[in-house]
Amino acid sequence: MLEDKWYRWFLYSMVLVGGTSFLIMFYLLWLGAFEGLLPSGIAIPGRDFEILYNAATRFSQGGSIPEAGYLYFPLVIFYHLLFSHLSFYPAFFAITLWNLLLALLTATLATKILGYYNIRLPTGGKWLVFSAIIFFCPVTASLNSGNVNTLVFCFVTMFYYFLCVKDKSLYAGLSLVVATVFKIFPAVLLLFAAFKRKFKFILAFLLILALLCVISVLLLGVPAHIYFAEYVTNYQSGQAMGSNSAISSIIWNSLEFFNINGFAQDVAQVSWIFARLAFVLLILGYLYPLFRTRGEAFRNNEWSILLFSLFSVLMVSLPNHAWVYYTSCLVLPFLLFIFCLKLTPFEKILLALSIAFFSFNTHIETMAAVIGGVFPSLVYLVHPGVIGNLLFLALVLVKIVRLHQAGKKL
Sign of CA dihedral 160, 166, 169, 174: negative
Three-class SS of residue 338? helix
Which of the residues in the chain have pLDDT under 70?
Answer: 1-2, 32-43, 236-244, 293-299, 407-410
CB atoms under 10 Å from CB of 343, counted, come to 18
Domain extent for 11: 4-405
Angle at 158 between CA 186 and CA 410, to 5 degrees: 75
Residue 216 is predicted with a pLDDT of: 96
The DSSP output letter for 85 is T
**How far, in Å, CA of 183 to CA of 195, rounded?**
22
**How far, in Å, CA of 277 to CA of 390, rounded?**
17
Task: Write the CA distances from 113 to 19, 96, 163, 324, 382, integer angstroms.
Answer: 24, 25, 11, 25, 34
Which residues lie below 8 Å from residue 88, measured CB to CB, with a gap of 6+?
46, 50, 53
**How far, in Å, CA of 254 to CA of 246, rounded?**
13
**How far, in Å, CA of 70 to CA of 85, rounded?**
17
DSSP string, 239-307: --TT-SS-THHHHHHHHHHTT--THHHHHHHHHHHHHHHHHHHHHHHHHHHHHSS-SHHHH-HHHHHHH
CB atoms under 10 Å from CB of 294, counted, come to 10
**How far, in Å, CA of 220 to CA of 75, rounded?**
8
Q: How many residues does the chain have?
A: 410
pLDDT digits (tens, 9 = 90+) for 2-22: 678 899 999 999 999 999 998
| Phi, psi (degrees; rounded to nearest 5) at 228 | -65, -45
Residue 25 is predicted with a pLDDT of: 80
- Nearest residue to 336 via CA among 360, 307, 357: 307
Answer yes or no: is 410 within a domain. Answer: no
**How far, in Å, CA of 370 to CA of 380, rounded?**
14
Is 324 within 8 Å of 361 (Cβ atoms)? yes
Is 83 within 8 Å of 94 (Cβ atoms)? yes
Is 149 within 8 Å of 176 (Cβ atoms)? no
Q: pTM here? A: 0.92
**How far, in Å, CA of 221 to CA of 65, rounded?**
9
Answer yes or no: is 128 within a domain. Answer: yes
Answer yes or no: is 35 within a domain. Answer: yes
- Nearest residue to 110 via CA among 93, 125, 91: 125
Answer yes or no: is 179 within a domain. Answer: yes
Residue 409 is predicted with a pLDDT of: 44
Answer yes or no: is 260 within a domain. Answer: yes
Number of domains in the chain: 1
**How far, in Å, CA of 322 to CA of 245, rounded?**
5
**How far, in Å, CA of 258 to CA of 267, rounded?**
16
| Buried/exposed 218-240: b ≥16 CB within 10 Å, e otherwise | eebeeebbebbeeeeeeebeebb
**How far, in Å, CA of 165 to CA of 113, rounded?**
7
Answer yes or no: is 64 within a domain. Answer: yes
Task: Write the CA distances from 207 to 74, 161, 187, 204, integer angstroms.
Answer: 18, 20, 14, 5
Which residues lie below 8 Å from residue 15, measured CB to CB, with a gap of 6+?
132, 135, 136, 137, 355, 359
Q: How many CA atoms lie within 13 A of 185 on its CB side?
A: 24
| Phi, psi (degrees; rounded to nearest 5) at 351 | -65, -45
CB atoms under 10 Å from CB of 53, counted, come to 22
**How far, in Å, CA of 392 to CA of 164, rounded?**
22
Residue 320 is predicted with a pLDDT of: 81
